[in-house]
Structure 1
Amino acid sequence: MPACPALFIGASASHQGKTTVTAALARHHARRGLKVRVFKTGPDFLDPMILERACGAPVYSLHLSMVGLDACRALLAQAAREADLILIEGVMGLFDGTPSSADLAAAFKVPVLAVIGAHGMAQTFGAIAFGLARYRDDVPFHGVLANRVASARHAQMLSEAIPHGLRYCGHVSNADDIALPERHLGLTQPAEIEGLDARLDRAADAIAQTTLADLPPSVHFDDATLPAPPRLLEGMHIAMARDAAFSFVYPANVDLLMAMGATISTFSPLADEPAPRDAHALYLPGGYPELHAATLAANARTRASIAEHVARGNTVVAECGGMLYLVETLTDVEGEKHAMLGVLPGDAAMQRRLSRLAMQRVDTTHGTMMGHTFHYSTLATPMQPVLHASHATTGTTGEALYRHGPVTATYMHAYWPSNPAAAAALFRGELL
């Protein structure tokens, strides 16, 4: 039964600074020469990019339904065998969602650090901390950290408001200049944040002034492993679009493809790199094609290579932003229409409000595959879905899955390890 110091970073709500604090903890302990492994709760691509930059290692997802209890257990056991510290960032508020961050912390008995944005409050801070700590007896509680604190006097009032028996771990000041910039899908990608490492170092310096400067207590994890997946993609070359426009990729998805025998290469549509001619399949992940639509529209070499790949009948798997790249036009939020590849019939349009956010599941002939959807665009297309996903908890109709020639496209971001056989079928171009 491997043991490792571990901490779960939760919060009272979204936008309290969980990612900033988790990254600060990771950078602080990594600077001490410790091997830090960080996980993110739920379906997220952007927070893990920041956390990977902070700790220097890939950040994997944990979620009791999307990833599954057994896979979560195996991922944590592997980390505990290798690392000096495990950090798990929660999602939304600690008790929000089904399953929630609290459910995950309770399942593996990882103590929770509650991050509370203290701007605009004083003694009420203590009441929120007390509620988070006492709401469920089965959730182990480490302590509370005040974020966005205005002054030394403000910090004093917050610490004095903590009820007896709760640990006050300290505070992070507004003046530390460590908050991470955001845009419509979440945090800005690391490569686009000027001075990110300096910002992370300042965050680590702030954490060094709190009780969190020391390692948390060790947690014992079950010594679990998962069986190797079948070699269903033996000898297949899969080329993946990878750049600032196509960056929403689960590391576990890529690991699975390679474990099933595939060779993975990457190419950049933004750099007008052609898709490799010897690729048996292309993977166009989600990302921000809408921010780079004019460049993508002008890049003729990539356009021609993908058209040639499709004309040869070779498989394409496109998710969300990858699907938008393949349609005829993409209209940005300013109303400007850009010509996309025209591989799929239809027109996409960005909007300023969220179109859909939900955990999703799709039932295939190989069983259920889990995933999620999160987008600000709409798609008008004559294509008829071959399958519909459904909401993971309510069962209501979810995203459409389209097949058009050798192309499979959907807004759903699938977590392929939830069903390796279905993932292999996608890349072999077989019907699900």
Structure 2
Amino acid sequence: MPSCPALLITAPGSGHGKTTVTAALARWHRRAGRKVQVFKTGPDYLDPMVLERASGRPVYSLDLWMVGEEACARLLAAAAAEVDLILIEGVMGLYDGQPSSADLALRFNLPVLPVIQCRGMAQTFGALVYGLAHYRPGIQLLGVFANRVGSANHLDMLQQALPAGIPWLGHLCGDTAYALGERHLGLQQAGEIDDLDTRLEAAADALEGLAMTTLPPPLSFSAWSTPPLPQTLAGLTIAVARDAAFSFIYPANLELLQTLGAQLQFFSPLADEAVPASADALYLPGGYPELHAGLLNQATHSALSIRAMAAAGKPILAECGGLLYLLEHLSTADGRTHAMLGLLPGEAVMQSRLAALGMQQLDTPMGRLRGHCFHYSRISTPLQARWQASHPLRGTRGEAVYQHGSITASYMHGYWPSNPELIAAIFHGRTF
């Protein structure tokens, strides 16, 4: 049974600096010569990009529902056998969601470190810490970390308010040297922050000498053994669009395709690269086509090659941003309308407010696919949904899944290891 120091970094809610502190800690330990595996709780693409840059390793999702308890156990056990430290960034607040970061901590006996953004707060800091520690029995607070501390006097007030028995592990000031930019879906993509490594180094420097850099106690992780997956995609080459417009890709999804036997080839529509000629199928992931609609409109080589794939009946799977790219038109936030590929009838319009957010489950004749949605656009199309996802807790109507010719497209981002058989069937071009 492998063992490794592990820590879940959480907060009272979003916006407290979990990603900054997790990234700083990962970079600090990496600089010290340790192998650090970072995980992200819940569905997220943007935080993992920053955390991957900080740690130097791919960042995987841990979620008791979307990933599943057994798969979470396998991921943790595999990491514990290979690295020197496991860091897990929580989602939203410690107790938010069903399941929550607290549920994950309790299931795997993980110590918890809350990061609390303290600007405009003094003694209430102590009440927050006390509540996080005692709201649910069994939660183990390793200590507490204060973010955006304003002055020496402010720091003194916070420390005096700390409940007895809870260690103070350090603090960061509100320094813009390591701040991370945001936009409508969350953080900026790591590749768009020109000085990201400089910011990560500055954040790691700020941790020097703090108690939080001490390794937490080692934990043992055990995993259920599972039979190997069949090579249902052996002999298939799958092209994957990957650039600043199409970047919302779970590493676990690509690894699943490779485990099933597929060969992957990457190309960039933004660079007007054609789909590789050897491709038997195409994956258009989510991302930010709305920020690059003008360039995509001018990417004629990419457009012609994708249209040729559709005309040849080769399978195309598109998620969220990939769906928008397949439509006839995309209207962006500045009011401009751009022609897209025109492979699906209809258009999309960007909105200033969130259109949909939450976990999704898709029940098909080949079983259930788990995933989520998060988008600011709305589409209008004459297409009828082939399938309809639903919310796993409320049972309410979720995202539509369209099948049009060889195309399968939806706003839903699937976590493909939850149903390898279905994903293999889609890339083989089977209809249901």
Partner of 1:188: 188
Partner of 2:306: 306
| TM-score under structure 2 length normalisation | 0.99
Partner of 2:108: 108
Partner of 1:28: 28
Contact 2:253 2:415 in 1 (8 A): yes
Contact 1:326 1:342 in 2 (8 A): yes
> Is the partner of 1:82 in helix, strand or coil?
coil
Partner of 1:290: 290
Partner of 2:200: 200
Q: Aligned AA for 1:321?
A: G
1:226 Cα deviation from its structure 2 partner: 3.7
Query: Deviations along 1:238-263, whole A, 9 cap, x unmatched?
Result: 00000000000000000000000100
**Mean alpha-carbon deviation: is it higher for 421-430 or for 105-114?**
421-430
CA distance in 1, matches of 2:201, 2:414: 34
Query: Deviations along 1:323-362, whole A, 9 cap, x unmatched?
Result: 1001000000111000000011000010110000010000
- Match runs of 1:272-351 below 5 Å: 272-351=272-351
1:227 Cα deviation from its structure 2 partner: 2.9
Contact 2:70 2:223 in 1 (8 A): no
Alignment pair present for 1:143 and 2:126: no
1:156 Cα deviation from its structure 2 partner: 1.3
Partner of 2:421: 421
Contact 1:176 1:202 in 2 (8 A): no
* Unpaired segments ≥5 residues, structure 1: none
CA distance in 2, matches of 1:338, 1:374: 22
Alignment pair present for 1:409 and 2:409: yes
Partner of 1:356: 356
Partner of 1:82: 82
> Is the partner of 2:306 in helix, strand or coil?
helix
Partner of 1:232: 232
1:225 Cα deviation from its structure 2 partner: 4.2
1:214 Cα deviation from its structure 2 partner: 1.4
Contact 1:269 1:299 in 2 (8 A): yes
Partner of 1:393: 393
Q: Aligned AA for 1:209?
A: G
Partner of 2:56: 56
> Is the partner of 1:33 in helix, strand or coil?
coil
Contact 2:38 2:59 in 1 (8 A): yes
Alignment pair present for 1:247 and 2:243: no
Tell me how many residue pairs correspond in the alignment. 432
Q: Aligned AA for 2:318?
A: A
> Is the partner of 1:38 in helix, strand or coil?
strand
CA distance in 2, matches of 1:98, 1:283: 30
Q: Aligned AA for 1:202?
A: A
CA distance in 2, matches of 1:120, 1:24: 23
1:177 Cα deviation from its structure 2 partner: 2.4
CA distance in 2, matches of 1:276, 1:384: 31
CA distance in 2, matches of 1:304, 1:29: 47
Q: Aligned AA for 1:126?
A: G
1:431 Cα deviation from its structure 2 partner: 2.3
Contact 1:370 1:414 in 2 (8 A): yes
Q: Aligned AA for 1:145?
A: F
Q: Aligned AA for 1:222?
A: S
> Is the partner of 1:264 in helix, strand or coil?
strand
Partner of 2:375: 375
CA distance in 2, matches of 1:245, 1:176: 27
> Is the partner of 1:177 in helix, strand or coil?
helix
CA distance in 1, matches of 2:366, 2:264: 24
1:223 Cα deviation from its structure 2 partner: 4.3
Contact 1:320 1:375 in 2 (8 A): yes
Contact 2:178 2:200 in 1 (8 A): yes
> Is the partner of 2:81 in helix, strand or coil?
helix
Contact 1:106 1:138 in 2 (8 A): yes
Contact 2:316 2:406 in 1 (8 A): yes
* Unpaired segments ≥5 residues, structure 2: none
> Is the partner of 1:215 in helix, strand or coil?
coil
Contact 1:328 1:346 in 2 (8 A): yes
1:84 Cα deviation from its structure 2 partner: 0.2
1:194 Cα deviation from its structure 2 partner: 2.2
Q: CA 1:209 to 1:176, structure 2 compared with 1: closer, same or farther past 3 Å?
A: farther
1:278 Cα deviation from its structure 2 partner: 2.1
1:224 Cα deviation from its structure 2 partner: 4.0
Let me know the Cα RMSD of the aligned residues. 0.9
Alignment pair present for 1:155 and 2:155: yes
CA distance in 1, matches of 2:224, 2:88: 18
> Is the partner of 1:305 in helix, strand or coil?
helix
1:175 Cα deviation from its structure 2 partner: 2.8
CA distance in 2, matches of 1:70, 1:6: 18
- Match runs of 1:205-220 below 5 Å: 205-220=205-220
1:176 Cα deviation from its structure 2 partner: 5.9
Q: Aligned AA for 1:122?
A: A
> Is the partner of 1:106 in helix, strand or coil?
helix
**Mean alpha-carbon deviation: is it higher for 128-137 or for 216-225?**
216-225
| TM-score under structure 1 length normalisation | 0.99
Contact 1:176 1:206 in 2 (8 A): no
Query: Deviations along 1:31-80, whole A, 9 cap, x unmatched?
Result: 00000000000110010000000000000000001000000000000000
CA distance in 1, matches of 2:384, 2:57: 41
CA distance in 2, matches of 1:176, 1:113: 23
Query: Deviations along 1:281-306, whole A, 9 cap, x unmatched?
Result: 00000000000000000111001001
Partner of 1:98: 98
CA distance in 2, matches of 1:216, 1:205: 20
Contact 1:8 1:88 in 2 (8 A): yes
CA distance in 1, matches of 2:179, 2:82: 30
Partner of 2:8: 8
**Mean alpha-carbon deviation: is it higher for 64-73 or for 226-235?**
226-235
Partner of 2:268: 268
> Is the partner of 1:274 in helix, strand or coil?
coil
CA distance in 1, matches of 2:225, 2:186: 33
